[in-house]
Structure 1
Amino acid sequence: MLVAAEYLPDVSAVMQQYVLPFLWKAAGAIVLWIVGGIVISGAGRIVRSAMTARGIDPTFSNYVNSALSVLLKIVLLVAILGLFGVESTSFAAILAAAGVAIGMAWSGLLANFAAGIFLVVLRPFKVGDAISGAGVTGDVREIGLFATTIDTGDNVRVFIGNNKLFSDNIVNYSANPARRLDLRAQLAHGVDPHQIVAALAARIQKIPNVAQAPAPQIGILEFNAAGTLLYVRPFCNNLHFGQVIDDTQRAIGEVTGGLPIPAPHHVEHRA
């Protein structure tokens, strides 16, 4: 009992000198992290609303908001470390050294970050566009700090590194007001192709969402063993691509439905 009594003042001194101050700092750090997170979220909403009110493209707005959020969280982390007595200069030195190490180890990640900046600034596409790049075709859902999110036609979400996407050929199907559909119609021998071309032109112009300018292109592609092969090329906005291609196929079937079935003909010459 006497021995325990001798150590009680020391334990009390340790509690007052080290434990309690640390607990207060930890509590302050938690409060600062929570309040700082709320402030950062509010700042992000304000920036997003301001950019939306000025008519700035959502792609650029989302990218700036993500970068701002990361920067403010780094500042918040520095402030929290300051509560524990870590000086900002020391932290900056540590951060610089860590940056060199991270830069060497995560060069690919930093390349994706740089490519994301170029994608936002150069704007080869924006959120909502239908594109093809890096072997993936679909609609762009988000251009992130390091990766671009694309939903494919079969409703699969694909994440592509910005650097891989930026270094590849990018096909933007939504950049122009209309894109061309390439279909064919095979006619049998003995069928007047000019009559069918006129009938198809009149029928396709009635299809909803078919562009009038440029006008649908219909003509003779080639003469083959089965008869005459026609090309059928209407134009439409990419948003209506699926509907127009289905309706055009149906129109071709309606116009050519009562005609003779195309079949290859071979002429044999005997001496």
Structure 2
Amino acid sequence: MDLLNLGQLVNSYLVPFGLKVGIAIVIWVVGGIAINTIVKIMRRVLTARALEPTLVNYATSAAHVALRVLLIMAILEICGIPTTSFAALIGAVGVAIGVAWSGLLSNFAAGIFLVMLRPFKVGDYINAAGQTGTVTQIGLFVTTMLTDNNVRVIIGNNKLFSDTITNYSANPVRRADLRCQIAYGVDPAQAIALLLARVRAIPNVLDNPAPGVAILEFNASGTMLAIRVNALTANFGQVYNDTNNAIAETCAAAGWPAPATYQVSVAPAAVPPAVPARS
């Protein structure tokens, strides 16, 4: 009887359970290989479409996690474990995580939009959230910038996305606008000719659009001249600094006096003598 009961127990419970475990292991291995293959193909397709690398990582990671969850639920169904309670548990955990990590999730969502809308990319020189520098990394939750004084700044994506973003690297050409104040007695036409000739000789200044010097205004110190030069974005810093130096050198070489503010004093009007009243 004992052997008979043992055989019935093995045939009724252990063998079916062993088969289910074996099938689950096979499905896990085969499903894992299939998931890895699908993710690799997805990465190749997205990369071939020249999408942002960060967006490719987001998409492939999300697809990998989602497929793994579906694989686990399929294995649980095969083993006879109901997945309804499991799905409800996942939903409850998701709600709890969403409430506790609302700030992080907002940064995550902003990071997705930054990658999809692409207001800037890694290597761009931008101004945003009160910081100016070169973008070195666009992460899931934060963006890293390197400022001009070699300081690494980490900004939450939500703050970065909700602020005004100025991308200095978006266009291939940038224009530098500078001013030169000349004093009274200096011929504006001569000053324009000298400055224009000197500015054209600066390396990396573009001929198209051509540099320009014009009168901006007349003020109490004399004449204000406006100097405009264009350069490739990569050469903008050098051209901007060299143009400032060129203005100073031209003024010194021409011997122009330093501008001074002149004030004209107006004498008060004379009061007419009072007319005596007639009697």
What TM-score comes out, normalization by structure 1 length?
0.70
Contact 1:47 1:65 survives alignment (8 Å): no
Give the aligned partner of residue 158 of structure 2.
163
- Decide whether aligned partners of structure 1 residues 240 and 48 sit closer, same or farther in structure 2, where only a CA change above 3 A counts: farther
Contact 2:39 2:63 survives alignment (8 Å): no
Give the aligned partner of residue 256 of structure 2.
259
- Decide whether aligned partners of structure 1 residues 225 and 114 sit closer, same or farther in structure 2, where only a CA change above 3 A counts: same
The structural deviation recorded for 1:158 is 1.4
Contact 2:43 2:60 survives alignment (8 Å): no
Contact 1:150 1:159 survives alignment (8 Å): yes
Unpaired runs of at least 5, structure 2: 1-31, 269-279
Contact 1:116 1:143 survives alignment (8 Å): yes
Query: Which residue identity does 1:143 align to in structure 2?
Result: I
Contact 2:121 2:135 survives alignment (8 Å): yes
What TM-score comes out, normalization by structure 2 length?
0.69
How large is the RMSD of aligned CA atoms in angstroms? 3.3
Give the aligned partner of residue 277 of structure 2.
none
The structural deviation recorded for 1:233 is 2.0
Aligned to 1:181, what secondary structure does the other structure show? strand
Give the aligned partner of residue 124 of structure 2.
129
Bigger Cα Rg: 2
Query: Where do residues 206-221 of structure 1 align in structure 2 (5 Å cutoff)?
Result: 206-221=201-216
Give the aligned partner of residue 54 of structure 2.
62
User: Which of 94, 114, 135 is the matching residue for 1:99?
Assistant: 94
Matched, 1:140 2:132: no
> Residues 186-225 of structure 1: CA distance to partner in whole angstroms, max 9, x if unpaired?
1111001121112212221221222323222321122222
Give the aligned partner of residue 232 of structure 1.
227
Aligned residues: 229
Contact 1:201 1:218 survives alignment (8 Å): yes
Contact 1:63 1:145 survives alignment (8 Å): no
- Decide whether aligned partners of structure 1 residues 88 and 122 sit closer, same or farther in structure 2, where only a CA change above 3 A counts: farther
Aligned to 1:234, what secondary structure does the other structure show? strand
- Decide whether aligned partners of structure 1 residues 231 and 110 sit closer, same or farther in structure 2, where only a CA change above 3 A counts: same
Give the aligned partner of residue 7 of structure 1.
none
Contact 1:78 1:88 survives alignment (8 Å): no
Query: Which residue identity does 2:132 align to in structure 1?
Result: T
Contact 1:146 1:161 survives alignment (8 Å): yes
Contact 2:110 2:161 survives alignment (8 Å): yes
Contact 1:147 1:159 survives alignment (8 Å): yes
- Decide whether aligned partners of structure 1 residues 45 and 72 sit closer, same or farther in structure 2, where only a CA change above 3 A counts: closer
Query: Which residue identity does 2:164 align to in structure 1?
Result: N
Determine the C-alpha separation between the residues in 2 that align with 1:91 and 1:213.
67
Aligned to 1:228, what secondary structure does the other structure show? strand
The structural deviation recorded for 1:251 is 0.6
Query: Which residue identity does 1:182 align to in structure 2?
Result: D
- Equivalent pairs: percent with the same residue? 54
Contact 1:44 1:65 survives alignment (8 Å): no
- Decide whether aligned partners of structure 1 residues 140 and 48 sit closer, same or farther in structure 2, where only a CA change above 3 A counts: farther
Determine the C-alpha separation between the residues in 1 that align with 2:42 and 2:206.
39
Query: Where do residues 10-29 of structure 1 align in structure 2 (5 Å cutoff)?
Result: none
Give the aligned partner of residue 22 of structure 1.
none
